[in-house]
Amino acid sequence: MLKKFLVIVILLLGANIIFADEGMFPLNELNHIDYNKLKKMGLNLTYDQIRNDVSKAVVSLGGGTGSFVSKDGLIITNHHVAFRAIQFNASAKHNYIENGFYADSFEKELPAPGYYADIILDIKDVTDRILKKANNAKNDAERFQIIEDEIKKIEKETESKEKNIRASVVSFYGGKQFLLFKKFRINDIRLVYAPPRSIGEFGGDIDNFEWPRHTGDFSFLRAYVDKDGNPAPYSKDNVPYHPKHFLKISLKPLKTGDFSFILGFPGSTDRYMTGKQVDLFLNDTIPLRLKLFSDIINLMEEEGKKNKELQVRVSFWVKALNNTKKYYEGVQAGLKRDKVVEKFYLRDKKIANFFKKRKCRNPLVEINKLSEEIHKIQKSLTIMAYSNFVSTFGAGARIGRWAEEKTKKDLERDPQFMDRNIPRIKRRLETMQRDLIPELDKKMLKYFMKLFADLPENERPATFTKYFGKGSKEQLYKKIDTTLDDFYKNTKLTDKDARLKYFSMSKKQLKKVDDKLLHFAWDFADELNEKKENLKGLNGAAMRLKPQVIEVINEFTRKELYPDANGTLRLTYGKICGYSPKDAVWYKPFTTFSGVIEKETGKEPFKNPKKLIELFEKKDYGQYFDKDLGDIPVNFLTDNDTTGGNSGSPTLNGDGEIIGLLFDGNFESISSDYYFNPSLTRSIVVDSRYILFILDKFSKAQNLIKELTVVK
């Protein structure tokens, strides 16, 4: 049926492919890009060299990207990607957040629990195996379950056959294609260097997603393995990992129009949406998420004001949530600015008329009905899911779900509770102690429960009613306060050893534990799991319809076909260039050291370290001065197509040398996750010359510089 759709649309539009600069291309689809075009732009490498050499130096850090830059496993990434490790090791006494950190020897490097580095070893297409079984399903729920089960089997088989392999099967094109990624995962990652926050986060939330930027958003980590070269948990006996490939760092001059390509792990885009889907997302989903993020940030910041230690503890999540909040503000503004809902509705109407004339089934109609069904239960589900953000409540949920799941065979469990994932869950239960604030947890849980009280009675979770009953909003608010005060007074979920003990118990043993907060979280988790199970039919239908929708929309718009971002390794290409955000305004593509000093106010987030100001006043620029700019370059813009997850991605010249690190996008481009606007979409990069300048002149990190391969 899908082939019939495509034949009809192709007959109407013609089969000519128009290549565009938009697109995040998987390495197995590089041949979709006109190589001669990239060669003319400045690429001096072959696609095979990119696939087999350069890409092997690029690693996923689980939510960010990094690159090996030395033979001893040194990884360069963003300051904000490494921030969790910085915060974990910081305290009021050793404030590495404010003062920065530098280990001038292996022995002084600090552990970064929760971090890992994934190196992609191989990619294999397993579509036929999965869809051969899924296409025989009796209904959509069964289809979803077959796909999930087959993915688990493939991953488990792959990991059992090869030592030290992490397998991951990922869906592309909405469920049309499935690829198996074989990865070498390094679990012992350590903090090596971080600039002071006043450099690594200069401009703070005010400048976040804005241009011009003047931020030294970079840090260094290191990967460690056991003495035999195998992945291993943190141990003093571990040794630095020796990668087969690492990248050089360029000191070469840059100018407007220079070619750049980026390799990284972009997290998520959704560019093949219908008008109805964008409408629901823009007008319902985004406002709810903005409210949640704003309220949680306010609760955290109020707690952090009490003393310096609490401020350190909430710093990571305040930073992360502010970033996410501004992201959704940018998406909202961009979708409205570009009138995306109207444009997509108009496009969908043309597609509908085309199918109607030919008396063919229109998959957009079906996906819209499906989206409306899902949307009806989305608000309650969203609040339930985000309530797990409360550390103790989330821990209780994981402990309870594990008690349920451990009674099943490995392949029959929820994927997140398979044996391969249990060490990571336990590690989180342990490390959460570092930033746990019980009083803040209680306040946040009360906040979420009161959101449920605000919902119509028929939309509230059954667990909510079980614990708080029914009544007016005022009555429910009072019951929530007294009940949760009692729960937190007696819970042991605030204790690391108790959490780990709970986690090791059988379901029968855990049921007997006298911990009301644990059982409350467990009941909530069970209900959320049940709701997700009930969604399998809708999700299965989405995986059946989405590939058809993508192909129809793509052929109708006549763009180069590429899959949405999904956390897998991608290449994007572009050039250094400025842009016009509005009438009569033009933004240049480079910012400079002078601009850093111009923004100086003496107050955070525009307060520079005294030493950095002295370097500027003395004009102590060294070899990092750019004659054409008449200054040291700090940040620059490219028109590469990137998104969240790309943070820390190496921005490379035509020879595959690092010219900078991607760390952000401009505010006008955030909505490109859903609608790509080439005139406004820009990536913001910290220049490699500023990175080296800070290392050399500011931090005197000579051992680190010697470890790098710098090319002029």
Task: Give the catalytic positions in this structure.
Answer: 80, 217, 647
DSSP assigned state of 297: H
Report the DSSP beta bridge partners of residue 225. Answer: 239
Angstrom distance (rounded) from CA 237 to CA 110: 14
Return the residue matching tokens 């006298």: 514
Look at residue 172 and give its three-state secondary structure. strand
Q: Which of 654, 665, 553 is nearest to 267 (CA)?
A: 665
Q: Which helix (H) or strand (E) holds 181?
A: strand 177-186
Angstrom distance (rounded) from CA 511 to CA 519: 8
Beta carbons of 154 and 221 less than 8 angstroms apart: no
Q: How does DSSP assign 407-473, residue by residue? A: TS-GGGS-GGGSGGGHHHHHHHHHHGGGG--HHHHHHHHHHHHHHHHHS-GGGS-HHHHHHH-S--H
Token pair listed for 330:
């940018």
Q: How does DSSP assign 507-543, residue by residue? A: HHHHHT---HHHHHHHHHHHHHHHHHHHTHHHHHHHH
Beta carbons of 367 and 277 less than 8 angstroms apart: yes
**Straight-line distance from the first to the last Cα atom of the chain, in angstroms, rounded to the nearest whole number:** 56
Beta strands in 516-654 (DSSP E): 570-575, 590-592, 633-638, 650-652
C-beta neighbour count of 666 within 10 angstroms: 22
**What angle do helix axes 422-431 and 391-405 make, rounded to 10 degrees?**
150
The angle formed by the CA atoms of residues 34, 641 and 82, to the nearest 5 degrees, is 130
- DSSP tally for the chain: helices H, then strands E: 28, 21
Angstrom distance (rounded) from CA 272 to CA 269: 9
DSSP assigned state of 649: P
Angstrom distance (rounded) from CA 60 to CA 126: 22
Q: Phi, psi (5° rounding) for residue 449?
A: -65, -35
Beta carbons of 562 and 17 less than 8 angstroms apart: no
Report the DSSP beta bridge partners of residue 687. Answer: 660
What are 502-509's contacts with CB under 8 Å, separation 24+?
502/399, 503/398, 503/399, 503/402, 503/425, 503/426, 503/429, 505/403, 506/403, 506/406, 507/403, 507/404, 507/406, 507/407
Residue environment code for 12-48, b if the CB has 16+ CB neighbours within 10 A, otherwise e: eeeeeeeeebbbbbbbbbbeebeeeebeebbbebeee
Give Cβ neighbours of residue 622 (< 8 Å, ≥ 6 apart).
Answer: 693, 696, 697
Report the DSSP beta bridge partners of residue 292. Answer: none
C-beta neighbour count of 712 within 10 angstroms: 7
Token pair listed for 412:
């029959």
Q: Which residue blocks in 183-307 are alpha helix, DSSP H?
A: 197-200, 204-207, 275-280, 286-304
Q: Which of 169, 192, 310 is nearest to 701 (CA)?
A: 192
Q: Which of 397, 389, 266, 383 is nearest to 316 (CA)?
A: 389
Instruction: Compute the chain's Rg from CA coordinates.
Output: 26
